[in-house]
Amino acid sequence: MLRTSLFFDMRAPAFGAPSREIYAAALEMSAFGDRIGVTKVGFMEHHGCDDGYLTNPFLMGAAVAARTTRIRINLGAVILPLHDPLKVAEDIAIVDQISQGRIEVILGAGYVPSEFARFGVSLHDRANLMDRGIETILRALSGEATDGEGRDILVRPLPIQDPKDILLVGGGVKASARRAARFDLGFAPANPRLFALYEEEMRARGQALRAMHGPGRPLCIHLAEDVEAGWADLMPHAVHVAKSYAAWADETGMVKSPFHGLGSEAAMRAAGIFQVWTTDELLEHASGLQSPATLGFMPLLGGLAPKAGWRSLHLLEQVMPRLAALQSKGTSSL
């Protein structure tokens, strides 16, 4: 199956569109995506960012749920060790009710030291906090009134969906694949090579595979009638996003990040993480994809002016009937 997705991180750097425009446009764009048949809209989470990176995906998810009827709403990765899991369970239940059973939530362990420091949480505790948090959320959303230690975890209303159809485990290490299988949940890794381990672990436990969401490549597709003009619009925002992710990687001591070294136009174009295509180029790319696959669009990337994002989305609208044919067939030529 071929999926189409809109993603928003709500960044509003000083050189880009202001937050008031970004938030208004994100809601309108989500409703537009719902009308034209986009599969999913996603909202991410980070904290303490000068550019206003979204801190509460549940609020945006609820706002979008109230303005849409079909589109699936993806929240996360929610950095679970930074939150009270019982509060997360309550938020999930409410947003699932508002959306009439259309949300999915990726739970991540987090990785940025400064984020953990601002909440007074130790990075060394994150594995334990993830395990205990997931257990609490599953128990609460399944209707249990107390956890294994006798703590009151009553949540009402309960979500419309089975909680195991809502929750996915995110992460970029082998432990995340094993965690997803241990809790019998879906898996959304940063590294698609971890799917094999997840599938192996699920089979070993006699469990049917659940939802698997991999990172799209390219991460962001921007459509333009004139590719060079499209790059001129997108480039400063793509560079800003890449530098931000690279800085977080540097905080952790990670030596391999796909966002390192993308400060120049030549490097950005060569990396392929962000792409500017015509509609014909999009269709050519889509026709060669193997199912399942995702075409990801970030129409407000790094504070991109909404008018530029709307130009891209209106071009997407033009080709949605042909993409929809691929969605229904899985793999096919255009």
Domains of the chain, with CATH numbers? Answer: 39-204 (3.20.20.30), 220-329 (no CATH)
Instruction: Please give the pLDDT value at position 317.
Output: 98
Instruction: Please give the pLDDT value at position 332.
Output: 35
Pick from 74, 89, 64: which is nearest to 156 by CA? Answer: 89
Instruction: Please give the pLDDT value at position 117.
Output: 97
Q: Record the pTM.
A: 0.95
Instruction: Please give the pLDDT value at position 330.
Output: 52
Instruction: Please give the pLDDT value at position 270.
Output: 95
What is the mean pLDDT, run by run of 10 residues, along the chain of 334 residues? 93 98 98 97 97 98 98 97 98 98 98 96 97 98 92 97 98 96 96 95 98 89 98 98 95 82 93 97 93 91 98 98 77 34
Instruction: Please give the pLDDT value at position 326.
Output: 74
Instruction: Please give the pLDDT value at position 187.
Output: 98
Instruction: Please give the pLDDT value at position 214.
Output: 83
Pick from 51, 63, 50: which is nearest to 98 by CA? Answer: 63
Instruction: Please give the pLDDT value at position 331.
Output: 41
**How far is 259 from 150, CA to CA, in rounded Å?**
45
Identify whether 113 is preceded by a cis peptide bond (ω within 30 of 0).
no
Instruction: Please give the pLDDT value at position 290.
Output: 82
Structure tokens at 328: 């229904």
Burial environment of residue 65 by CB neighbours within 10 A (0 to 12, 13 to 18, 19 or more): buried
Instruction: Please give the pLDDT value at position 51.
Output: 98
**Cβ atoms 263, 234 nearer than 8 A:** no
For residue 137, what are the contacts with CB-CB under 8 A and spacing of at least 6? Answer: 85, 86, 88, 89, 92, 107, 163, 167
For residue 31, what are the contacts with CB-CB under 8 A and spacing of at least 6? Answer: 64, 67, 68
